[in-house]
Structure 1
Amino acid sequence: MLQQLRRLVWAANRELPRQGLVTYTWGNVSAIDRDRGLVVIKPSGVAYEELTPENLVVVALADGRVVEGDLRPSSDTATHLELYRAFPAAGGIVHTHSTHATAWAQAGRDLPCYGTTHADNFYGAVPCARPLTAREVETDYEKNTGLVIAGTFQARGLDPVATPGVLCAFHGPFTWGRDAAQAVENAVVLEEVARMALLTRQIDPGAQPAPDYLVEKHYQRKHGPHASYGQG
């Protein structure tokens, strides 16, 4: 089932340790076939070097039941499913505990856009979602994590396509993209701009975010209707 999607998700998961985004098995990638309502995701706790396209798990978007696979899906599966439901343009999702992005999440702080590297990829600050309540953690932690992320974007009026990532307070980052490969790329960029932001604050604790006109120019130059970045 979903052989091509399995291979894409397998390759994307294998990219996480190559990019230095994960320690041990601290991360996962999924992708969705929206026509069939099925999600392919990494199995829980399996080392990346042991992954194969065949041992990934297929779950139903509607209810999270395992449709195909002998292993348990990632413990973050319910979060992925909520994000797919909330963000129709998302074709792939990544969760990691990458060092610098997680540091901002643990501080409960939005990641400011301090410069053009950030603006080329994220349209303004990357939000930090509110902490979950004790009841949200105790009742359905992973599902509620996804609901809180989606609620953060709705409450702030954010476009998940323009800002394809979030920090979960006390937890870590999630990113997404049109497919699993782009979701991984966004995770790599998020970690790098989080590191740059930390260094910026160390150099100047009072550093101000980049002006809106510069953010607008760089984001639109790469992603807008008249984008001039790349070869078209």
Structure 2
Amino acid sequence: MSSSYKSLKEECYEANMQLNALNLVVYTFGNVSAVKRDEGLFAIKPSGVPYEVLKPEDIVILDFENNIVEGKLRPSSDTKTHAFLYKNWEEIGGIAHTHATYSVAWAQAQMDIPIFGTTHADHLTADIPCAPPMSDDLIKGNYEHNTGIQILDCFKDKNLSYKEVEMVLIGNHGPFAWGKDAAKAVYNSKVLEVIAEMAYLTRQINPNAPRLKDSLINKHYERKHGKNAYYGQ
């Protein structure tokens, strides 16, 4: 692969393959993108290509206006959502979208995922937000672009920071996650799916299970992310 975007394509390819390896996708569902900020470009999985035949050279390079810069295949159908988020959230380096079972179940229920336990608090201090279903006017318009608007509106309405909450559910649709690079976006997608499953099971065992108390939320988040964090090496 002689492309000048070889490293960007390989980063995107590896992240997409990891999405599949972590059982977050079935068939051709899902996609990951990776951004090259200094050139205003991003790489994304081509639409409808099975993971078992996907190759690094198949990855499509686009600018933030959705113009193809390099690639012979059509990019993911979700490309406009990725482009919109990259344009508006300047500190993210990768985005992942899946149709993972438990995450989608909460999205279809149109419910935020409550913070029930310390696994959730290890990663964020808020409930995982679920954006309301898209309005009919937006559905009839530029749908994938408007999905990005849907996400930004949700964060504005709930007064959330994309730097602190790196995941969201789209009502009746499914999850998006992001991070400093494509690998972190995939990591956050897996964390979201695990938390979604744990929360579902918690509700089955006790429909009235209480939210995790603030002292435990703060303790677990701060020990991994605070200025005096001591988790890890």
Same fold (TM over 0.5): yes
Unpaired segments of 5 or more residues in structure 1? none
User: Per-residue displacement from partner, 1:106-133 (whole Å, max 9, x unpaired)?
Assistant: 0000011101001111221010001111
Counterpart selection for 2:22 from 19, 23, 26: 19
Counterpart selection for 2:63 from 35, 56, 60: 60
User: Per-residue displacement from partner, 1:167-220 (whole Å, max 9, x unpaired)?
Assistant: 000000000010000110000010001000000000000111101221111111
Say which is worse superposed, 162-171 or 213-222, in terms of deviation. 213-222
Say which is worse superposed, 50-59 or 164-173, in terms of deviation. 50-59
Report what 1:218 is aligned to. 220
**2:53 corresponds to 1:37:** no
> Displaced runs of 4+ in structure 1, greater than 3 A?
none
Whole-angstrom distance in 2 between the partners of 1:196 and 1:142: 30
Report what 2:120 is aligned to. 118
Whole-angstrom distance in 1 between the partners of 2:71 and 2:9: 12
Report what 1:206 is aligned to. 208
Secondary structure, in 3 states, of the residue corresponding to 2:178? strand
Equivalent residue letter for 1:124: A
Counterpart selection for 1:152 from 154, 164, 177: 154
Counterpart selection for 1:176 from 139, 153, 178: 178
TM-score relative to the length of structure 1 = 0.97
Say which is worse superposed, 3-12 or 164-173, in terms of deviation. 3-12
Equivalent residue letter for 2:61: V
Report what 2:193 is aligned to. 191
TM-score relative to the length of structure 2 = 0.97
Whole-angstrom distance in 1 between the partners of 2:221 and 2:90: 21
Report what 2:163 is aligned to. 161
Counterpart selection for 1:138 from 137, 140, 158: 140
1:155 Cα offset (Å): 2.1
Report what 2:5 is aligned to. 2
Secondary structure, in 3 states, of the residue corresponding to 1:216? helix
Identity of aligned residues (%): 50
Whole-angstrom distance in 1 between the partners of 2:127 and 2:46: 32
Secondary structure, in 3 states, of the residue corresponding to 1:48? coil
Whole-angstrom distance in 2 between the partners of 1:93 and 1:6: 14
Whole-angstrom distance in 2 between the partners of 1:220 and 1:227: 6
Report what 1:128 is aligned to. 130
Say which is worse superposed, 171-180 or 149-158, in terms of deviation. 149-158
Equivalent residue letter for 1:120: D
Secondary structure, in 3 states, of the residue corresponding to 2:46? coil
Whole-angstrom distance in 1 between the partners of 2:141 and 2:6: 35
Q: How many residues align?
A: 230
Say which is worse superposed, 122-131 or 25-34, in terms of deviation. 122-131
Secondary structure, in 3 states, of the residue corresponding to 1:35? helix
